[in-house]
Amino acid sequence: MTDTSREFGMLQGFGLGVRPVHYAEILEGAPRIDWFEALSENYMVPGGRPPAMLMRVRERFPVVLHGVSLSIGSTDPLDRAYLDRLAALVEQVQPELVSDHLCWTGVGGTQIHDLLPLPYSEEALAHVAARVHQVQDYLKRPLMLENVSAYVGYRQSEMTEWEFLSGLVARTGCQLLLDVNNIYVSAFNQGFDALAFLEGVPAAAVRQIHLAGHSNEGDVLIDTHDHPVCEEVWALYGTAMRRLGPVPTMIERDADIPPLAELEAELDRARTIAAAALATRPRAAAE
């Protein structure tokens, strides 16, 4: 493990997402990776190759679970069948952390298969907080929620996204997965200050960081996870580490997936930026 990481349970250092194309190198080689993140829905199946491969990865590395279908912000009732499958996977894998997105993915029984943002209002905050309590009681552990990329906002919003996140943490004790790329994408698309977002989130609740690439369409950025991390996001990551300290960090790559060695090299850059940022961190922030 690196000396630029802070312990959260057993999770330390720098990770990558588990991708089938890399199974052999992960299991048979010696990758320079401290932990892996698995997409929950890919492994919520009874038997077969995916769960077996994940358990083999788990034998060698710490694993976190990351979901995309909880739909914590929907007005539909929580899907008990989904929660049953998730709880069974959590029991089997014993992950260091369990996360999903602060979003809704469907309504009226229809799944839209997109991570849609919420209106940041008191009504929405109370609604989501109640559902977070239900999920945490169901899983018997804290839930970690990730900020999503957004392309438009809601007229009904009464607060900023970071104020909403702070309120949710205060009401539920949930944890935060801070996606630095999503902050940058949303700030560009909606015209808010990305640094204000970083300053506004409750630092003690941030337990993991995501880095990723996006597509630049000129007047809009699209969160596609099919490019390397861009320079602006690297700079924002350095600022995040100076404020937050050595939070475990991973790179997401979901399309145009390169060889593992390329992702390891990109992860090495995260290590370098984190080390430089932590070396210049104000003493008061580090204590």
Q: pLDDT of 76-100, one tens digit each?
A: 999 999 999 999 999 999 999 999 9
Q: Is residue 115 part of a domain?
A: yes
**CB neighbourhood size of 162 (10 A):** 19
For CA atoms 100, 104, 110, 114, the dihedral sign is negative
Q: Is residue 285 part of a domain?
A: no
**Structure tokens that stand for 63 in this block:** 């694993």
* Structural domain boundaries enclosing 150: 14-280
Q: pLDDT of 255-268, one tens digit each?
A: 999 999 999 999 99
Q: Is residue 26 part of a domain?
A: yes
Please calculate the CA angle 265-262-266 and round it to the nearest 5 degrees: 35
pLDDT value for 64: 98
CATH number, position 222: 3.20.20.150
Number of domains the chain is built from: 1
Q: pLDDT of 100-157, one tens digit each?
A: 999 999 888 888 888 999 999 999 999 999 999 999 999 999 999 999 999 999 999 9
Q: Is residue 173 part of a domain?
A: yes
Cβ–Cβ under 8 Å, residues 68 and 105: yes
Q: Is residue 3 part of a domain?
A: no
Q: Is residue 106 part of a domain?
A: yes
Q: Is residue 203 part of a domain?
A: yes
pTM to 2 decimal places: 0.94
Q: Is residue 222 part of a domain?
A: yes
